Structures are given as structure tokens and as C-alpha cells.
């Protein structure tokens, strides 16, 4: 049991974004959260990653209550995330972005007088992640000069550079051309094996990707969990097909 | 409304003051009856607001899309330029309207002697405040202003020409500042440092009352004015110090001030 | 490296100035060096962390008044003691101010720092029995490295030993700041500047880093402030007025906040330009206001930005 949410509720004034959502993620699992727009996926991710406080319910990470402790402490505890609208450091190079993550991981953020350039662990760590994600060649480019797909990769890569135990990806392939999507997912899976990631949660709209990679799928609808099962079971769940997937048959 | 913290509004106040002095002096020379001196004073104050157009069209509109810091720095540039411009035009020594302050006589009010002029100014500011309120809530322009303040892109999408709105709003704001400066002249003297000294008071008013709220500005001004008077009579050294401390407290406890919109 | 050569040449020029330059110009170098120290610190906050303080003159005031009090109220004259005391007091004052201000961003941060700056100004102005009010407090000639140089004529002292002492302080300050900026800490500051939300998800506690950056910048400002005192011989409240803080930001912008040496260049240009303009016409603020407006509108990266214009992005791939 790595991550566990119980009875999460989130109210924005009168609007109920989440209405009693519970889920668990165990070691080795790749879980996808699917659902139509407005189902509460982003809210759920924000609560799980400590950005938002739930109105009710609890979140336990590695058997600690973590609801609302904030992203900084969660990152230290071993949880990382990427963003739906890609988030980068525009004026930092690819390498610097990754170095920052490694610095944070190694707890060296408050070293004021040592040279970053001569810190071998940081340099090696950052380079390793860059290579894992195929960004090594462009590592000296400022992040804002990267093409959109690479920015996405960088966003995810910097989360990986934290060597987290669990990572939450908010639409990792959105805004990316179909040809690149598989490439990104493959890179992701390979990288997660390399760094010993214990679980992945993703929010994803592309059903092909979802069914190709997930161990388990959680379908959200109007703030509630509609279904929580393996892909095969989900495929035969009529409610899910009606509300989320759509009627066109999904290939294997 | 424009979400710019205009450091130069103090400078416009000072401009109004100087223009007011000149207008009154000209009026006195032209032989106008002293009882009506308030008229050229107020008119001159309003007219000086035209400077707002120049500043807005010539400078500010280039930086609306930039980071707030740059907007702030640009208004700081205006402050610098105005300080010297005022000195250039009117000279370095303070100017005043000498005896005209007591033209309207004085009144005994609640045991204190109050120059009638003060009452006139108070009345005028009430009228102005009410007119602004009316403008904002009852006229089409007022509604556009409030909509634009709330959500600029939406207003633009609805066909509002933001440049013209901004120009008008800024000029209006400037005119109010210059008018205020002019009206204050009989009670004090016009000095080139007026602008930079005023801005800290104005800033206190806005913080306490809340950015972006007219009611807040009114209340804030009242609060600051009253506190200053109390402080001056009780413990003079503390006067502005008290104000700043309150500003800090307000910023910490309730950053949006008493009436302000939700913090950015 | 071109930059290294430029730096070496500049250092040599500064070192040689008292030997070849006219007294007047050499004396102008003294406030330049003091402001350079201040700005190195301010830019840690501005260029590297993304926070614009409109109240940093507060710490200049603290540093200057520390030196003034020490020299005129005690028998201590050692500039080393003064500088260290200024640094310590600057840090102490910065702790509560920073703790409060770093939770706010952009305009609220600017306003809060402005308010604190004016609190200090008003305090120093009004409590004249303590501080001399608007007449200020004298800052008597400090001894350098234990050598009491009171016998020297003032000009010789200022263009000689004091000049090189200031240069040494500036050099040391530059070295330290260079290390800080190239450290893991410096990198974290830049992440906070660029995208605080993302920095947090990487485990970088934004408020804490801003706090440290603020305190460091305050220490630099205080040390610079202390250096400003001796050439004038007197320290008064205007050092802490908000327009003085505004000028600091102006200098930083002028030189270029995106570069390490930008603010130093800015200080140099500001001081010399101001001096030159004032000799021609007393309305330097008019000119400078116009310059600031032009910079903000057309060249926000400052002089260094104009000099090292970024190479255009790699040809369209998106």
C-alpha cells in the first residue's frame, strides 16, 4: 500500500467537485484515472499532490496522513508530479532544471558557497536523467526554446529526477502529436524501471494509451468513482463505456 | 482599476497644487472678487488633469502587458520627471495663495474654530465621492470600467476598446488628483516635495481601504486622516510611524484591506 | 574568456585611478563602490529570486547609522568593527522584515518593503534626540586595519587608503556573491524566480529560500551603507527615503538585472551620469526619469542586455 485516499470530498462554495472518492495504489501498479471533463480528475490530483486541501477525507502516503501538507513536504517524502499545462523554468537550461531536482533530492539546496558545477553527484544525476529522456543533446538549451513535446518531457523528467517512489502525471501526452505519444510513454516506462519507481498514477484522455499501459483503471464521473478495475473488466462495464469511453469499440 | 500602483499620483497632486496657485494669482491680478477664488482654483485643478492623457498615451500604454514591476518602475520614472519639471516651471521655493485661506471666514463648531474653507473642501470631496459612485454604478461607462477591472480579456472580447477605457480612466484619476492638490493649496503651500511625500500617505490609504475599491479609498482616507490628527495631538513623533505600522499590520492580517477585492 | 579579460581590465583601471585620475573623479568612485556592494546584494533578490524590494534603502540606513553611532558615540573607530557590526545589524533587522515580506509577491512585496523602509525613515527622522533628526549623525573617520589615519588630510585619506580599502571590500563582496550565485542555493533561487509553483513540487521551499536571499541582500546593503558614510562625514535620514530605494532599483535595471555584473555597471553609469548632468543643469531627475522610462519600455534588460543581446532561438522547429 503506497497511496490511499479515503472519502475525499471537495466543495467549492456550493459546487461539489469530489463526492466521496476513495482509492488505493499498491507497489508496482500503473493506475490510470479517466473521466469526462468536469469529473473531478484535476481536483483529485491536486489533492493527492498536496496542492489543495480536501474539504473532507484523508490521504495516506506510506502510511502517513498527508492531506494538505503541501507539495514541498510531499516531494521530500517521495511523491512527484507533472502538470497538465506544461510547467518549466523558462530561463533555465534543461540541465539546470534537472540539476535543481537533484539538488533538492540530495538536500543540498542550502549550500551557499560550494560550486554547483563541481558537484559530481548533482552533475551525474542530472545527466543520467537527461539521457534517460533523450534530452541529453539539448541539455544546454534554455527550456523555453524547446519544442512543446520536449517541454513536456522535461516537466516529467524533472519529476523523475527526484527519484520519487510514486509519481502522478497529469495528462502526460496531452498537446503532443500521436506519433510522439507512444514514444513518451515508452520513455516513461523505461525510466521508471531505471530509477526504481514503485507506482505511477496518470490522468489520461487517450484511451489507446490508457488501455495499453495500465494495470488498473479508475473511472471518475461527477465527482464519484464509477469503476475501479483492471482494463478487461472496465471494457465490459457498460456504465463506463457510456459515460467515459464512448461507443466506438476500443481495439484490444 | 488598471491594477497599476501609480506612484505618480502624488506628483499629479503636486501639479494640481502649483497650477492652482498660479491660477489664483492670475485671478487676483485680474481683479476678480476674492470670494470666488475657489472657482478658478477648482477649474485649474481639473484642467491640469489633462496631463494624465499625455502620460497615459505617451508612456503607460507601452507597458500594460508587462510585469507589474515594470509598470511600477515606469510610474516611478514619472515621479522623478515631475519633481524636476515642477521645479523647472515654478522654481524651487514653496508657493502659496497667502491670505485667501480665510476669505470665507471662520465658524465656531463644537468648541473649535474651523475655517469655512475647510468645510467647503469637505463638502466638495463628498460631492466628488458621490459623483464617482454614481458614475461607477449608474452609467454605462462606469459599468464598463468595473467589468474591465474584473476581467480585461472578457471585456475586450465583448468589444470594449481597452485603450480608450484606460486612457479615460487614467485621465479621470489624474484629474481627481490634480483637483485635490489644487483645493488643498489655500491651507498649505505648494512645494516640489509634495508629490513624493503624499504618495506614502496615499499608499497607506489605499492599503488600508483596499486596492480597487472606491468605498475603501474613502474609508481609508478617513482612517488615515483621523489617525494622523490624533497622533499629532497626542504623540507627535509617532504620527507617520503609526500610519506605516498600521499599513504593515493590515498587509499582514488582511492584505486586501477593508474593502478590497480578493488579493491577486 | 572575453569576460575574464574585461573584468581584469576593469579592475586594473579601478586600481590605477587614484594614481592617474583627477581627484574629483576618484572621489566619485567611492560612492560607486559602496553602491556596487549594495546592488550586488539587491540583485540577488531582484535578478536571481525575482523579488523587487522598494525598501532596501532601509538597510543602507542601518549600515550607515551603525557606523555613525559607533564612531561618534564610542571610542571605537575600526572600520572592520563597523563593517561587521553593520552586517550583523542588517541581518538582525532583516529577519523580521523578511519573515513577513516573503510570503507576499510582486506588488504586495514591493509595498510592504516600502512601508518598512519608511518606518525606519520616520523613526530616524522623528527621534532626533537619538539620531540627530534631519541633521543626521556625524560619521567620523574610521581607522583602517588598526591604523589611525586622522593626521592625514581628508582628500589624501579618501583617495588613498580608504579608496583601496573600499576596493578590497567590493572585491571580497563580489567573490562571495559569485560563489553564492553559482552554488546549489543560487540555482534554487532561479527556479523560484522562474516558476515558484513548480519549484515547490520539486521540494524547494519557496518562502525559506526567499528569506535567506533577503537576509543576504540586507547584509550587503548594510555593508555598502556603512561604506557610504566616511566620504560624506555625516549620515542623515534621506538615506532611507523611499525614493532612494527606487533609485537602487533604477540602477539595477539600468545595468541589467539579468547579468551578474549588470548592477555594478548600473551603479557606475548612474553615479557618473548623475554627476555630469548636474554639472550642466540641476534637473537630473528629469533626465533620469526619462532614461528610466526609456529603459523600461525599450530595453528592460538594461545596458548589459543591450551589449550581450541574446542569440535568436534555434530556427523554427515548432
- Identify all chain C residues contacting A100, using CB atoms and an 8 Å cutoff: 187-188, 190-191, 199, 202, 204
Q: Is residue A250 part of a domain?
A: no
CB contact under 8 A, C197 and A87: yes
CB contact under 8 A, A75 and C205: no
Query: What average pLDDT does chain A have?
Result: 86
Beta bridge partner(s), residue C138: C234
**Which of C195, C205, C317 is opposite residue A72, by nearest beta carbon?**
C205
Q: What is the pTM of this model?
A: 0.85
Question: CA–CA separation, C159 vs C22, rounded Å?
Answer: 10
Closest-CA residue to C113 (of C45, C52, C53, C50): C53
Question: CA–CA separation, B80 vs C292, rounded Å?
Answer: 9
Which pLDDT belongs to residue B264? 37
**β-strand A216-221 against B106-109: which pairing, if any?**
unpaired
Question: In tens digits, what is the pLDDT along chain C, a chain of 318 residues?
Answer: 677 888 888 888 888 888 887 888 888 889 999 999 999 999 999 989 888 898 999 999 999 999 999 888 888 888 899 999 999 999 999 999 898 888 776 777 887 888 888 888 888 887 777 777 788 888 888 888 877 777 888 888 888 888 999 999 999 999 999 999 999 999 999 999 999 989 999 999 999 999 999 999 999 999 999 999 998 888 988 888 888 998 999 999 898 888 899 899 999 999 998 888 888 888 888 888 888 888 888 888 888 887 776 544 333 333
* Residue B112 backbone phi and psi in degrees, to 5: -120, 155
CB contact under 8 A, A112 and C179: yes
Q: Is residue A252 part of a domain?
A: no
CA distances from residue A150 to A80, A144, A175, A184 in whole angstroms, order as listed = 19, 10, 11, 9
Q: Does C127 touch chain B (CB under 8 A)?
A: yes
Q: Which three cell numbers stand for residue B241?
A: 510611524
Residues C264, C269, C270, C272: what is their CA dihedral angle, to the nearest 10 degrees?
Answer: 120
Reported as a single tens digit per residue, the pLDDT across A201-223 is 999 888 888 888 899 999 888 88
Q: Does A177 touch chain C (CB under 8 A)?
A: no
Reported as a single tens digit per residue, the pLDDT across B20-64 is 777 777 777 776 666 666 777 777 777 777 777 777 777 777 777
Which pLDDT belongs to residue B255? 61
CB contact under 8 A, C202 and A158: yes
**Which of C183, C190, C202 is opposite residue A75, by nearest beta carbon?**
C202
Which pLDDT belongs to residue A101? 93
Question: Residues of C near A (CB-CB distance < 8 A)?
Answer: 176, 179-180, 182-188, 190-191, 193-195, 197-206, 209, 212, 313-314, 317-318
Which pLDDT belongs to residue B262? 46
Report the share of chain B in percent with pLDDT over 90. 0
Provide the H-helix boundaries in chain C.
Answer: 2-20, 23-46, 57-73, 79-101, 106-126, 128-131, 154-159, 161-181, 184-194, 196-201, 206-232, 242-255, 262-280, 284-298, 302-307
Provide the H-helix boundaries in A163-243.
Answer: 178-195, 207-213, 231-235, 238-240
CB contact under 8 A, C204 and A104: yes
Structural domain count, chain A:
1
Q: Is residue A156 part of a domain?
A: yes
Q: Which three cell numbers stand for residue C38?
A: 549594495
CB contact under 8 A, C183 and A112: yes
Q: Which residues contact B203 (CB under 8 A, 6 or more apart)?
A: B5, B247, C111, C114, C115
Question: Which of the listed ranges B85-89, B131-135, B245-249, C236-240 does the model predict with the highest average pLDDT?
Answer: C236-240
Has residue B263 got a pLDDT over 50? no
pLDDT-derived band of residue B99, with 50, 70 and 90 as boundaries?
A: low
Name the region of A244 (left: φ>0; alpha: ψ -120 to 50; beta: rest). alpha
Query: Quick check: do C and A touch, 3+ CB pairs under 8 A?
Result: yes
- Identify all chain C residues contacting A49, using CB atoms and an 8 Å cutoff: 201
Q: Does B235 touch chain C (CB under 8 A)?
A: no
Which pLDDT belongs to residue B97? 64
Closest-CA residue in chain C for B236? C126
Matching residue, cell 489533492: A47
Using the 8-state DSSP alphabet, how is residue A204 labeled?
-
Reported as a single tens digit per residue, the pLDDT across B176-229 is 777 777 777 666 666 666 666 677 777 777 777 666 666 667 777 777 777 777
Closest-CA residue to B53 (of B144, B199, B135, B164): B164
Question: CA–CA separation, B72 vs B56, rounded Å?
Answer: 13
Neighbouring chains to B with at least 3 Cβ pairs closer than 8 Å: C
Query: What average pLDDT does chain B have?
Result: 71
Q: Does A110 touch chain C (CB under 8 A)?
A: yes
Question: CA–CA separation, C297 vs C160, rounded Å?
Answer: 41
**Which of C242, C250, C253 is opposite residue B200, by nearest beta carbon?**
C242
Residue-range definition of the domain harbouring residue A106: 3-245
**Nearest-neighbour CA in chain C from B242: distance (Å):** 9
**Which of C182, C193, C209 is opposite residue A115, by nearest beta carbon?**
C182
Query: Quick check: do B and C touch, 3+ CB pairs under 8 A?
Result: yes
Q: Which residues contact A101 (CB under 8 A, 6 or more apart)?
A: A126, A129, A158, A159, A161, A162, C202, C203
Give Cα A49 distance to the centre of its chain.
9
Q: Is-contact A227 A237, C-beta < 8 A?
A: yes
Which pLDDT belongs to residue C316? 34
Question: CA–CA separation, A49 vs A37, rounded Å?
Answer: 20
Closest-CA residue to C159 (of C267, C36, C23, C272): C23
Matching residue, cell 505617451: B58
Amino acid at each position: 500500500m503506497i497511496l490511499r485516499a479515503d472519502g475525499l470530498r471537495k466543495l467549492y462554495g456550493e459546487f461539489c467537485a469530489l463526492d466521496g472518492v476513495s482509492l488505493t495504489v499498491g507497489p508496482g501498479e500503473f493506475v490510470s484515472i479517466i473521466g469526462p471533463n468536469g469529473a473531478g480528475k484535476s481536483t483529485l490530483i491536486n489533492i493527492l499532490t498536496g496542492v489543495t486541501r480536501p474539504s473532507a477525507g484523508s490521504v495516506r502516503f506510506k502510511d502517513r496522513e498527508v492531506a494538505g501538507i503541501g507539495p514541498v513536504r510531499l516531494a521530500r517524502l517521495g511523491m512527484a508530479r507533472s502538470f497538465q499545462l506544461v510547467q518549466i523554468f523558462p530561463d533555465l537550461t534543461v540541465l539546470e532544471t534537472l540539476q535543481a531536482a537533484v539538488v533538492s533530492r540530495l538536500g543540498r539546496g542550502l549550500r551557499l558557497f560550494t560550486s554547483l558545477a563541481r558537484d559530481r553527484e548533482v552533475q551525474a544525476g542530472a545527466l543520467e536523467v537527461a539521457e534517460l529522456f533523450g534530452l541529453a543533446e539539448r541539455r544546454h538549451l534554455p527550456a523555453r526554446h524547446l519544442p512543446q513535446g520536449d517541454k513536456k518531457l522535461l516537466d516529467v523528467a524533472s519529476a523523475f529526477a527526484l527519484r520519487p517512489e510514486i509519481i502522478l502525471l497529469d495528462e502526460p501526452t496531452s498537446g503532443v502529436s500521436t506519433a510522439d505519444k507512444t514514444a513518451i510513454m515508452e520513455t516513461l516506462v523505461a525510466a521508471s524501471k531505471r530509477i526504481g519507481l514503485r507506482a505511477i498514477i496518470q490522468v489520461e484522455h487517450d484511451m489507446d494509451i490508457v488501455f495499453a499501459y495500465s494495470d488498473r483503471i479508475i473511472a471518475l464521473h461527477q465527482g464519484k468513482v464509477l469503476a475501479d478495475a483492471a482494463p478487461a473488466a472496465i471494457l465490459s462495464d457498460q456504465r463506463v463505456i457510456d459515460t467515459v469511453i464512448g461507443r466506438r469499440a476500443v481495439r484490444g | 482599476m488598471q491594477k497599476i500602483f501609480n506612484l505618480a499620483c502624488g506628483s499629479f497632486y503636486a501639479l494640481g497644487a502649483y497650477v492652482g496657485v498660479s491660477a489664483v494669482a492670475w485671478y487676483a491680478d485680474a481683479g476678480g472678487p476674492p470670494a470666488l477664488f475657489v472657482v478658478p482654483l477648482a477649474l485649474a485643478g481639473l484642467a491640469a488633469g489633462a496631463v494624465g492623457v499625455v502620460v497615459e498615451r505617451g508612456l503607460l500604454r507601452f507597458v500594460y502587458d508587462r510585469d507589474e514591476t515594470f509598470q511600477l518602475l515606469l510610474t516611478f520614472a514619472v515621479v522623478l520627471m515631475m519633481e524636476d519639471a515642477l521645479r523647472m516651471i515654478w522654481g524651487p521655493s514653496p508657493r502659496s495663495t497667502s491670505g485667501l485661506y480665510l476669505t470665507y471666514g471662520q465658524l465656531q463648531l463644537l468648541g473649535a474654530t474651523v475655517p469655512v474653507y475647510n468645510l467647503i473642501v469637505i463638502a466638495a470631496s463628498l460631492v466628488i465621492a458621490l459623483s464617482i459612485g454614481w458614475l461607477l454604478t449608474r452609467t454605462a461607462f462606469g459599468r464598463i470600467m468595473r467589468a474591465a477591472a474584473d476581467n480585461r480579456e472578457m471585456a475586450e472580447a465583448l468589444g470594449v476598446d481597452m485603450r480608450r477605457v484606460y486612457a479615460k480612466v487614467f485621465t479621470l484619476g489624474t484629474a481627481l488628483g490634480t483637483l485635490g492638490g489644487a483645493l488643498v493649496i489655500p491651507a498649505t503651500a505648494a512645494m516640489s516635495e509634495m508629490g513624493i511625500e503624499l504618495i506614502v500617505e496615499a499608499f497607506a490609504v489605499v492599503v488600508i481601504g483596499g486596492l480597487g475599491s472606491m468605498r475603501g479609498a474613502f474609508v481609508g482616507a478617513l482612517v488615515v486622516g483621523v489617525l494622523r490628527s490624533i497622533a499629532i495631538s497626542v504623540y507627535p513623533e509617532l504620527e507617520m510611524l503609526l500610519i506605516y505600522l498600521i499599513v504593515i499590520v493590515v498587509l499582514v492580517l488582511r492584505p486586501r484591506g477593508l474593502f478590497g477585492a480578493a488579493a491577486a | 574568456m572575453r569576460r575574464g579579460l574585461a573584468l581584469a581590465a576593469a579592475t586594473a583601471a579601478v586600481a590605477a585611478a587614484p594614481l592617474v585620475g583627477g581627484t574629483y573623479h576618484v572621489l566619485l568612485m567611492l560612492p560607486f563602490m559602496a553602491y556596487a556592494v549594495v546592488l550586488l546584494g539587491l540583485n540577488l533578490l531582484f535578478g536571481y529570486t525575482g523579488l523587487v524590494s522598494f525598501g532596501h534603502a532601509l538597510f543602507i540606513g542601518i549600515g550607515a547609522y551603525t557606523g555613525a553611532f559607533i564612531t561618534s558615540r564610542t571610542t571605537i573607530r575600526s572600520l572592520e568593527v563597523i563593517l561587521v557590526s553593520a552586517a550583523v545589524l542588517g541581518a538582525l533587522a532583516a529577519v523580521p522584515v523578511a519573515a513577513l515580506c516573503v510570503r507576499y509577491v510582486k506588488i504586495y512585496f514591493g509595498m510592504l518593503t516600502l512601508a518598512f523602509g519608511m518606518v525606519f525613515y520616520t523613526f530616524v527622522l522623528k527621534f532626533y534626540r537619538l539620531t540627530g533628526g534631519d541633521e543626521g549623525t556625524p560619521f567620523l573617520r574610521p581607522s583602517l586595519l588598526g591604523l589611525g589615519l586622522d593626521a592625514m588630510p581628508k582628500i589624501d585619506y579618501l583617495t588613498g587608503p580608504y579608496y583601496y580599502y573600499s576596493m578590497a571590500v567590493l572585491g571580497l563582496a563580489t567573490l562571495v556573491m559569485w560563489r553564492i550565485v553559482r552554488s546549489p542555493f543560487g540555482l534554487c533561487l532561479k527556479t523560484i524566480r522562474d516558476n515558484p509553483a513548480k519549484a515547490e513540487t520539486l521540494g524547494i521551499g519557496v518562502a525559506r529560500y526567499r528569506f535567506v536571499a533577503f537576509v543576504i541582500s540586507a547584509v550587503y546593503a548594510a555593508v555598502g551603507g556603512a561604506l557610504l558614510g566616511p566620504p560624506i562625514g555625516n549620515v542623515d535620514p534621506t538615506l532611507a527615503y523611499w525614493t532612494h530605494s527606487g533609485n537602487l532599483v533604477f540602477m539595477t535595471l539600468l545595468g541589467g538585472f539579468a547579468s551578474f555584473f549588470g548592477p555594478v555597471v548600473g551603479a557606475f553609469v548612474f553615479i557618473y551620469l548623475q554627476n555630469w548632468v548636474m554639472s550642466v543643469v540641476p534637473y537630473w531627475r528629469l533626465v533620469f526619469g526619462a532614461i528610466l522610462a526609456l529603459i523600461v519600455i525599450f530595453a528592460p534588460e538594461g545596458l548589459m542586455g543591450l551589449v550581450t543581446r541574446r542569440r535568436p532561438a534555434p530556427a523554427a522547429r515548432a
